[in-house]
Structure 1
């Protein structure tokens, strides 16, 4: 007796049956409808829950019914495969639902202030009863602070990862890895307090006639402290994924190690490195506490990151969300949508640039 005969007892295994052992789509849809109807009758009829419980119970009934029907039509092995495939698809849907909910909430509530005034004005001279006011100053602050932080953290992070992977051996390399791991778990407010106590209260006095000064550059330093461990760890993992034969082939041709790293290893790992860098930038762009501590968060426009306080989009959202004005929540939602869109645009642009690398095609 064959395996198919054992899985479908009482059914003759002819060539036509073997070719047609697939559960029809109509039968699958019928099981879905029947599961929903039975679940609604049980839950709503007994008054023990709402539509959410109906969906949960219907999912359980559907899986049981699908297993029974598929076992009769396709066999036990195919039925188990179909059931687990359904569970995997359901898990993917459940994972996407929170993200879709966040995106829909941002778009629906943030679209109300998508106008020229929001992107072309600041909060200077805006009172509680004024419906105008925008986030131009916060957008400028975010771009400058995150840009300077990236200029500081990206080269240091990539070079540190190159050292750990290509050169790092012994106690010093292990010490560097340890401190990188420790920095990964540092709260953002601790980074802000460190820059406040070091840069704002000590170093900035040397350039400001003995008076401490808040600045966007101080916020950039705090953000670079937060970005650095993420860039080091992600770049280190990407460099370790580069195949060893690529390095060995380069060495066999007489290419020195530094040139192999520059021309072979880094271009090969570039897409992964870019992903890690964009994750670090996204985290830095969404930080509020460091900017509040060391940049102050001005309501007016300040293009100079080295002199005077600055705002950021994350800080702007925090301030507007706690404002008593009835117009503030709309500004906060639009600023949050702007921040997400800005990070998304930067990520897409960086990924497109990384795809132009010939070694990764």
Structure 2
């Protein structure tokens, strides 16, 4: 009787978990299928190589927005990834329990939950207004601020997974703390750190609000990092809210490209994590 009751409870809970999983997947695949359905027909070689056409004209593409997104994400990565990793090393290896570390961790958690539009407004006030113009540099800076707390937390967790015996073995051999971190601890946690960094890049690649206040946008090729630059999220927003059907199709195509980029980054991170687990 107890075995039958146990099997019945196991079957019931398994059914509940399966149903919950299916319900959670329905919105995901619904969004993906809808974007693919509406965006695939507008994709062409011109979309990836041409500049946007003037209002109301057919044709054109989002080549400048694709390149602009890659440039600003690269700027954000060059700023955010080193700062995030170095801060995590300090918190984990040098000053784990002091009041400063506690304060930094609290600030990191708060910053993670701050809406991205607030970051955009802050950078607009502190950088854009003082520079006198919108720019790709300001956009990359805003994205890097969003990246930093994500990288700090993920890197810190990866470093904590490195066994203390590995650190002690390095010290026992007479290796300095800095060299132990650089040559032993970081290589051991490298795949996990890279995974966290790639997920942070995927997180900021689709941000729109900060770029509206910082990079603004541009219908042409940007000639300098110190001038407005187009980006996929902003251009999608502008096209989707326009009254032109042709631009709506372009917005769907841009959405498909952006989602594909995010999926590729996430899958790469998952495969790296799986490799680390094995």
Q: Structure 1 residues 267, 98: CA separation in 2 closer, same or farther (over 3 Å shift)?
A: farther
Calculate the aligned-residue CA RMSD, in Å. Answer: 2.2
Deviations 1:25-83 (A, max 9, x none): xxxxxxxxxxxxxxxxxxxxxxxxxxxxxxxxxxxxxxxxxxxxxxxxx8332222222
- Equivalent pair of 1:242/1:265 in contact (CA under 8 Å): yes
> How many Å apart are 1:175 and its aligned residue?
2.4
Deviations 1:217-236 (A, max 9, x none): 11001111111111111211
Which segments of structure 1 move beyond 6 Å, counting only runs of 4 or more? 353-357
Q: What's 2:129 paired with? A: 201
Q: Structure 1 residues 88, 320: CA separation in 2 closer, same or farther (over 3 Å shift)?
A: same
> How many Å apart are 1:280 and its aligned residue?
1.7
Task: Provide the rounded CA distance (Å) in 1 between the counterparts of 2:275 and 2:17.
Answer: 34
- Equivalent pair of 1:274/1:351 in contact (CA under 8 Å): no
Task: Provide the rounded CA distance (Å) in 1 between the counterparts of 2:169 and 2:190.
Answer: 19
Which moved further from structure 2: 102-111 or 82-91? 82-91
- Equivalent pair of 1:200/1:294 in contact (CA under 8 Å): yes
Deviations 1:177-224 (A, max 9, x none): 23222222222222112222222222x3xxxxxxx1221111001111
Task: Provide the rounded CA distance (Å) in 2 between the counterparts of 1:218 and 1:231.
Answer: 20
Task: Provide the rounded CA distance (Å) in 2 between the counterparts of 1:244 and 1:164.
Answer: 15
Q: Structure 1 residues 99, 356: CA separation in 2 closer, same or farther (over 3 Å shift)?
A: closer
Q: What's 1:145 paired with? A: 72
Q: Matches of residues 181-200 of structure 1 in structure 2 within 5 Å?
A: 181-200=109-128
Task: Provide the rounded CA distance (Å) in 2 between the counterparts of 1:186 and 1:145.
Answer: 21
Say if 2:158 is the partner of 1:231.
Answer: no
Q: Structure 1 residues 102, 325: CA separation in 2 closer, same or farther (over 3 Å shift)?
A: same
* Structure with bigger gyration radius: 1
- Equivalent pair of 1:270/1:354 in contact (CA under 8 Å): no
TM-score, normalising length: structure 2: 0.91
Q: Matches of residues 127-142 of structure 1 in structure 2 within 5 Å?
A: 127-128=55-56, 130-142=57-69
Partner SS for 1:310: coil
TM-score, normalising length: structure 1: 0.71
Pick the structure with more helix per residue. Answer: 2
- 1:283 alignment partner, one of 203, 208, 225: 203
- Equivalent pair of 1:317/1:332 in contact (CA under 8 Å): yes
Deviations 1:107-126 (A, max 9, x none): 11110111011111121x42
Say if 2:84 is the partner of 1:157.
Answer: yes
> How many Å apart are 1:84 and its aligned residue?
1.9
Task: Provide the rounded CA distance (Å) in 2 between the counterparts of 1:187 and 1:298.
Answer: 25
Q: Structure 1 residues 257, 114: CA separation in 2 closer, same or farther (over 3 Å shift)?
A: same
